[in-house]
Amino acid sequence: MTHSPLSLRADAEGEAARLPALLARAEHLAGAVLPGAHGRRRAGSGDDFWQYRPAQIGDSRRMVDHRRSARGDQEFVREREWQIAQSVMLWVDQGASMRFASDKGLPDKADRARLLGLALAILLLRGGERVGLTGTALPPRRGNPQILRLAEMLCREDTREYAPPEHRGMIPHARAIFISDFMGDLAPVQTALTKAADRGVRGVLYHLLDPAEEAFPFTGRTIFESVGGTLRHETLKANDLRDRYLDRLAARKDELQQLCARTGWRYGLHHTDASAQSALLWLYGALDARQGSTA
Amino acid sequence: MSVFGGIGFTAPWLLLALLALPILWLILRAVPPAPIRRRFPGVALLLGLTDDESTTDRTPWWLLLLRMLAVAAIIVGLAGPVLNPQAEPEQGNGPLLMVLDSSWAGASGWDRQLAAVEAQLTRAGRAERTVGILTLTDPQVPTFQSADAWRSRLAGLTPAPWQPSPAEIARAAEIMADLPTFDTMWFSDGLDYAGRNDLLETLQAKGAVEVHQSASNVIGIAPAVYQDGAIDLTLRRATPGPERKAVVQAQGRDPAGNARVLATATATFEAGATEATTSLSLPAELRARLTSFDIAGQRSAGARTLVDDGLRRREVALIGGRGAQEGLQLLSPLHYIEQALAPNADLIDGTLTDVLPANPDVIVLADVATLAPAEAEPLQEWIGAGGMLIRFAGPRIAASDVSRMDEDPLMPVRLRAGGRSVGGAMSWGEPKALAPFRNGSPFFGLPVPDDVTVSAQVVAQPDPTLADRVIASLSDGTPLVTRKAVGQGQIVLFHVTATAEWSTLPLSGLFVQMMERLAVSSGASTPEADSLDGTTWTPLRVMDGYGTLADAGNLPGVAGPDLISAPAGPALPTGIYGSEDRRLARNVLTQETALTPASWPADVPLRGLALPAEQPLAGALLSLAIILLVADVLASLALSGLLLRRSSGTLALLIVIGLAPQGAKAQDSDRESFAVRAASEVTLAHVLTGNREVDEIARAGLTGLSDTLYFRTSVEPALPTGVDLEQDELAFFPILYWPITPDQPQPSTEAYGKLNDYLRSGGLILFDTRDADIASYGASSPNGRKLQELAAPLDIPPLEPLPGDHVLTRTFYLLQDYPGRYSSRDVWVEAAPPDAEKIEGMPFRNLNDGVTPVVIGGNDWAAAWAVRRDGGPLLPIGRGFAGERQRELAYRFGVNLVMHVLTGNYKSDQVHVPALLDRLGQ
């Protein structure tokens, strides 16, 4: 596609404008959740004070806390609480099927998924975790710059109709979050999940649906087209298809849940007409839950 | 045309198409609605699902019905239905002649009559008959042509202020005789006239005759009669009917000279009576200002009677010589003249100095020889201002030296000493008789009785001017009555006494007639025809069939007897006629005229004018079809779910627009915001004419001028605005541009009040006839005439063509041309004061201390100023560079004009600057 310099610039600016908006919204959303304590309850590397202990042989001079030691003759070393950071890996579906909203008032699914993913990332990063994307594009890191990188990566769109989950580069024993509408083939999902389970990765499968996809409010002679335009299905009486469609959808949800149960993941369902806040809370809670607890 | 149950169809065969509707129903029912494309990510889940049944979703029956109705409406509409098609029992195929009485009697209902004629023309046009129209008051050979051609010319028919005269009937019959056979439709005004039955027979010989006649009664008013101190008015109607009141308005001029109703009286027709009388008692002063009486609510020449000298009684001051002895009444020098004048004039007695301030019309001096200078001077002034002095000779004059050597200013001729006497005891010869009056004398045509003899007289001295001044002479050629004009008045000298002493003239009827001819006394309300023998009367104001007066222009004069006795016609229009100082009105009705209703034989079908109008329904039905189709579109959209999803906003908007109430409150606030807008900045305004194109150009023109002002001067006007004279306040606008269109409505009285206020308080109206034709000042173009009509009630000062040194030529630019789209140089502004003079050393006069309230031209300035939205010129002006130059000059004229309005005489004052500097230097 050839761009004239003007339109290229305009498109670029439009794209750039989305980042801060997404960031701001994500920050706003994340600000509503207070991260809980995440300490290991023993001395180790960390930021928080744990205890003063008398200096021992072997402690380098540099470790002596002079403020405390100056009160007496003994020298003290300041120990910090041992904090470990968890690696969390995100996969947000960028496929064409996500760019759909049944109503002008509703956000499209990709938008909601991106928002939730980034807000969760912000929360986690504030909590000191390392957050990255599955795959090799953006491995988990900590710190605020990672938010910007994540935002940038999340804004890239995939041209494929239904994007399969990215399961490469899973860090063992990390946490993972998959956000998608799972409308495409379920086999890659299954592969991804089993592979993750093999490496001890647990996480959340977040199923994001538009209300119209749940209700199927269509009647009359209709040609249904996928968002990318590759798939189409024509029917003379759309209302007749409703029940069978809903059956298929329920079967799919069921399958996903079973998959989660087998692999120790948690399954969550969200509709774009529900509030993003509650979704974020649920996600955060699901992620924060002790290992082993299931949905 | 075929008629089914009150509705006729012009193309009934088209209705067969209705048979196709059921087939259409089946076809439409089978066609499935078009598929809707939807984006749906869940399509992956749908793949492989098949429809249960292969039958389609059917179009709902009510939608089908809607479509059927729309198609049916189209078919029926195209078939040309007509409601109330007029039954045409004997609609022939041959030519049709429409005969119109076209007299004053139909003037009040002329519009209705024309509407009826038009309805009949429509009918005839549908039957493809050729039509001719013949107006009986002005018969012309009718041309038979298509009804449509006539329809466009109907508006040109106007009623005449007379009834068809026998001569006109004869002419009409002559015309008919040459025509082939035809059917006749006679539009009668409802009044009978001589020869009508003959004409009817002539017409019946040619073909079927049908008479259309309005049911309304014809009312007329007979000339007013002054009797016993009151004005008697007689109203007549054609057919006796129920009791009816009619208001008579006495029209006249107020002291300022404006036309107004001076008094009203109510006359009541008793039930069954055809005549009603009323009387008005008016003071002499008011009576003298009357111009006519008319019946309120009627608009015909018959309902108006013009007032002439019959109601005017002249004031005559009689002054006799000194020493009239008591008891010798028959010898009093004034006795005979008093007797002659008393019935028809108001006599004033008194001394000359007492009488003059009362400003009588006539002063009679009977044998008064010399006047004191204190009397003579005011008397001369009075004559110069239009007074008439009548002097009689007598022994005193004969004995005096008055006008002996030099002509006395109060005498028409020089006189010989002593006078002469013939046929007396001491002289030879017979008393002299009068010679017949010469043509040119005011007495011309009066019969000279044999028994009038003159035995003594004063004799005029032969002079070069004598022959012109003699208006009556004796049989031997000696002048008997001489006259000379002085200023606007005249002096008449009878060379005999006012008594029977010197002649028998004062004893004869001729004396009274002479007094009448001299307008000393006005005669009976209607003079006898033969008393006007030899006089010629020029029409001054003529009255048309509606009773509207207009200037007579150059119409030829009419012989006196004809004026009384001949029937009115093209050669003798009704109106006011004048001869010397006398005024005579020729009215439609005379005292004797009776209004007889026209009666038609039983075999002539008689119809009223008010037929139920035919109403073509095709338009309504086709509109209905369109509405149904739009409803179908909406319903289809609604069915497919597109309506509410995509266009609900639009739909809601449409509904809101449709239902938006136009409350009075909104108007009030509109008016307020209009005022705020107009008053907050300088705003140029144009008068809305109702013609969209003209209004649009005026707006664009003022926009262009505003832009020019904005760029070039310190005047920064807001967007121009159009003003409705009836509703909008004018005070906010410094200048009003008023383009003239021939068809714009006449503003109401209130609007004229506003306009006059506007002009008096410093506003300026730029009248633009837009035809470059003001050169001939008006009347030659429709726009010019309209301008005259529009501007007549306005308070406009005397005008003159824009002089070269007018302040308007140098308020901003130095200009000598004022072109618009045309470049006529005739632009009229308020005339400079007569005493304007060039000041020493100044190139121009100091004119117009103030702003001219009007500028009148025809250069179509707005068209030259007009700009499009993008600022380019809207209309082409001239050619090439010269045209652009003309446009530039037009802008400069506009700038000068606005500057003139805004700065007044400021630039004019600049001419004093050198003088002021000079003075400061000292």
The CATH number given to whatever domain includes residue B444 is 3.40.50.880
User: Does A169 share its domain with A282?
Assistant: yes
pLDDT at B905: 67
Nearest of B30, B142, B18 to residue B68 by alpha carbon: B18
Inside any domain, residue B108: yes
Top-confidence range, A112-116, B252-256, B615-619 = A112-116
User: Does B775 share its domain with B817?
Assistant: yes
Number of domains forming the structure of chain A: 2
pLDDT at B376: 86
User: Does A147 share its domain with A114?
Assistant: yes
Inside any domain, residue B394: yes
pLDDT at B373: 82
Inside any domain, residue B31: no
User: Does A218 share its domain with A236?
Assistant: yes
C-beta atoms surrounding A160 within 10 Å: 15
B33 interfaces chain A, CB cutoff of 8 Å: yes
User: What is the number of helices (H) and of strands (E) in chain A?
Assistant: 8, 9
User: Does B104 share its domain with B249?
Assistant: no
User: Does B403 share its domain with B508?
Assistant: yes
Decide: pTM greater than 0.90. Answer: no
User: Does A64 share its domain with A147?
Assistant: no
Q: Mean pLDDT over residues A257-278, rounded? A: 89
What is the widest separation between alpha-carbon atoms in chain A?
92
User: Does B493 share its domain with B373?
Assistant: yes
User: Does A162 share its domain with A244?
Assistant: yes
B34 interfaces chain A, CB cutoff of 8 Å: yes
Interface of A with B in 100-159 (CB under 8 A): 100, 109
User: Does B505 share its domain with B563?
Assistant: no
Encode B231-240: b = buried (16+ Cβ within 10 Å), e = exposed. Answer: bbbbbbbbee
| Single residue among B517, B537, B565 that ends a domain in this structure | B517
What chain A residue is nearest to B645 in terms of C-alpha separation?
A: A103
Inside any domain, residue B739: yes
Q: How does pLDDT run across B851-866, given as a tens digit for each residue?
A: 788 888 888 899 999 9
User: Does B552 share its domain with B483?
Assistant: no
- Please tell me the distance in Å from A229's CA to the nearest CA on chain B: 8
Inside any domain, residue B678: yes
pLDDT at A206: 92
By DSSP bridging, strand B314-320 and strand B799-801 are: unpaired
| DSSP β-bridge partners for residue B249 | B264, B294
Inside any domain, residue B87: no
Q: How does pLDDT run across B9-22, given as a tens digit for each residue?
A: 777 788 888 888 88
pLDDT at A40: 54
Residue A254 has pLDDT above 90, yes or no: yes
pLDDT at B431: 81
Contact A162 B44 (CB under 8 A): yes
CATH label of the domain that carries residue B851: 3.40.50.12140
Nearest of B423, B348, B394 to residue B500 by alpha carbon: B394
With a cut of 0.85, is the ipTM above it?
Answer: no
Strand order, beta sheet including B81-83: B2-4, B7-9, B81-83, B615-616
pLDDT at B703: 92
Higher pLDDT, B468 or B669: B468
User: Does A212 share its domain with A66?
Assistant: no
User: Does B430 share its domain with B569?
Assistant: no
CATH label of the domain that carries residue A215: 3.40.50
pLDDT at B810: 79
| Single residue among A62, A80, A98 that ends a domain in this structure | A80
Interface of B with A in 828-887 (CB under 8 A): none
How far apart CA B195 and CA B189 sit, in angstroms, is: 15
Contact A226 B33 (CB under 8 A): no
* Lowest mean per-residue pLDDT among B237-251, B340-354, B471-485, B841-855: B841-855
Q: Two tokens at A52?
A: 């003063």
Domain residue limits at A73 = 49-80
- Please tell me the distance in Å from A172's CA to the nearest CA on chain B: 34
| Single residue among B488, B517, B546 that ends a domain in this structure | B517
Inside any domain, residue A114: yes
pLDDT at B661: 47
- Among B42, B49, B53, the residue with its CB nearest the CB of A183 is B42
Angle between helices B61-78 and B618-639 (to 10 degrees): 160
User: Does A97 share its domain with A209?
Assistant: yes
Contact B35 A245 (CB under 8 A): no
Inside any domain, residue B86: no
CA distances to B347, B362, B371 from B316, rounded to whole Å, are 5, 5, 19
Contact B41 A98 (CB under 8 A): yes
User: Does A90 share its domain with A69?
Assistant: no
User: Does B858 share its domain with B890?
Assistant: yes
Residue B645 has pLDDT above 80, yes or no: no
How far apart CA A117 and CA B760 sit, in angstroms, is: 79
Residue B232 has pLDDT above 70, yes or no: yes
pLDDT bucket at B651, cuts 50 / 70 / 90? low
Inside any domain, residue A12: no
Q: Two tokens at B526?
A: 């209607």
Inside any domain, residue B638: no
Domain residue limits at B169 = 96-218+597-611
- Percent share of chain B, pLDDT over 90: 5
User: Does A99 share its domain with A232?
Assistant: yes
Confirm if B741 and B783 have CB atoms less than 8 A apart.
Answer: yes
How far apart CA B167 and CA B172 sit, in angstroms, is: 9
- Among B34, B43, B53, the residue with its CB nearest the CB of A232 is B43
Encode B573-591: b = buried (16+ Cβ within 10 Å), e = exposed. Answer: bbbbbbbebbbbbbbbbee
User: Does A282 share its domain with A177?
Assistant: yes
Inside any domain, residue A261: yes
Number of domains forming the structure of chain B: 5
